[in-house]
Amino acid sequence: MLKKGNMNQYIRSLRIELPEARENEYPFSLDAVRRLPELRLDAKVSYFIGENGSGKSTLLEAIAVAYGFNPEGGSKNFNFQTKSTHSNLSDYMTLTKGISRADDGFFLRAESFYNVASNIDVLDEGGMSPPLINSYGGISLHAQSHGESFISLVMNRLRGRGLYILDEPEAALSPTRQMALVSRIHQLVNNNSQFIIATHSPIIMSYPDSTIFNIESGYDVIELEDTEHFQVTRNFMNNREAMLDILLN
């Protein structure tokens, strides 16, 4: 069994101070924001789950920016901007950090991963020495498929003793690659890493001794088998013909 902790977490907890005068404005109008006065992150892997539009990505973006990451993704050394679309939620978020300092870190978000890959190429074209791409497997991420580049980053760039924030990593990954991600998460957790992940994938959220927060029910902690993601997937696969009959008629 993996030991849960708190003082040794890179992020122990987070809280939001809501501006009352702006409670009807985005992102403060989101239930996921209004229901989050404070949240402890005791497990090495914390999942945020909820339906599309519930605020998962907004929350992860705010955590990442509050910690010092670029809003569009990457490590703390990335400072590019293609378009300013991130919310100002991070300005109202306070992170309580642990006694240990992360040696590594990365904010991976599916929707802007293309921009991260492009920035790596631009930096290397400018004469980075050694080439930055060496830390990502040695092959331009644009020269690989979306899924291959995701896995290449996870396997090569994430080095351990780090804080890793992943926003819907399943977007580019096959089921087999999702299982490979779970295995890699385990390797990195054993090397003193912490993960905060927003996902719809029951495969990815299956990592044991993690915490699954349902942001649509006030951040209740939920077991994998009780999530809608797990139940809908299981029911569909176990009753495929009946389900398709309902869906297609």
Q: Which amino acid is at 174?
A: S
- Whether residue 15 is contained in a domain is answered as yes
> In this prediction, what percent of the chain has a pLDDT beyond 70?
79
Model confidence over 93-125: pLDDT tens digits? 999 999 989 999 999 886 655 455 656 666 556
Which residues, other chains included, contact 121 with Cβ-Cβ below 8 Å and sequence gap of 6+?
133, 140, 141, 142
Helix (H) or strand (E) holding 188, with range, is helix 175-189
Instruction: Specify whether the CB–CB gap between 123 and 116 falls below 8 A.
Output: no
CATH code, domain with 242: 3.40.50
**29 found inside a domain:** yes
Domain membership of residue 216 as a residue range: 11-114+159-247
| Domain count for the chain | 1
- pLDDT value at residue 5: 47
What are 22-41's pLDDT values in tens digits?
Answer: 888 889 989 999 888 789 99
pLDDT of residue 227: 97
Residue 154 lies in a domain: no
- Pair 195, 44: CB distance under 8 Å: yes
Q: What pLDDT sits at residue 8?
A: 80
| Mean pLDDT over each residue of the chain, to the nearest integer | 85
Provide the greatest CA pair distance for the chain. Answer: 60
**Who has greater pLDDT, 2 or 114?**
114
In a domain, 42, yes or no: yes
Q: Using CA atoms, how far apart are residues 134 and 181, in angstroms rounded to an integer?
A: 20
Name the pTM for this structure: 0.88
